[in-house]
Amino acid sequence: QVQLQESGPGLVKPSGTLSLTCAVSGGSISSSNWWSWVRQPPGKGLEWIGEIYHSGSTNYNPSLKSRVTISVDKSKNQFSLKLSSVTAADTAVYYCARGNYLVGAIRAFDIWGQGTMVTVSS
């Protein structure tokens, strides 16, 4: 079955760029799904960051759009997140997730990575 695994630095300096990768195994990133990033600050709720289709089409959270870039590497079956100009407010567990069309045009996050903690600190 499809599995997702996040990887990347656990510590990023303020004003720097957070970079994470999500490796997709057990299936193809070129399937008819959207691939998302979701984050969760310590003790808080879930926030959608953005998503990408294998074609390269993207959608971003309007509140983060100016700082976010999501890209896909079909040759490596993975997708990536870059978040620039980070501050302590970007400290969170970052999850990658598959957005699957389960009913018509309604999609849900049916597969999640285990999450990776990223701390923004000098």
Partner 1 sequence: DIQMTQSPSSLSASVGDRVTITCRASQSISSYLNWYQQKPGKAPKLLIYAASSLQSGVPSRFSGSGSGTDFTLTISSLQPEDFATYYCQQSYSTPPAITFGQGTRLEIK
Binding site for partner 1 (CB under 8 A): 34, 36, 45-48, 51, 59, 61-62, 95, 97, 99, 102-104, 106-110, 112-115
> Which DSSP string do the residues of 31-98 spell out, in sequence order?
SSEEEEEEEE-TTS--EEEEEE-TTS-EEE-TTTGGGEEEEEETTTTEEEEEE-S--GGG-EEEEEEE
- Taking alpha carbons only, the member of 68, 120, 116 closest to residue 93 is 116
Q: Which is nearer to partner 1, 7 or 61 (CB)?
A: 61
Q: Which is nearer to partner 1, 67 or 109 (CB)?
A: 109
Residue 102 C-beta: closest distance to partner 1, Å: 5
CB of residue 83 to partner 1, shortest distance in Å: 17
| Residue with smaller CB distance to partner 1, 64 or 82 | 64
Closest distance to partner 1 from the beta carbon of 51 (Å) = 7
Query: What is the C-alpha to C-alpha distance for residues 119 and 102, in angstroms, rounded to an integer?
Result: 34
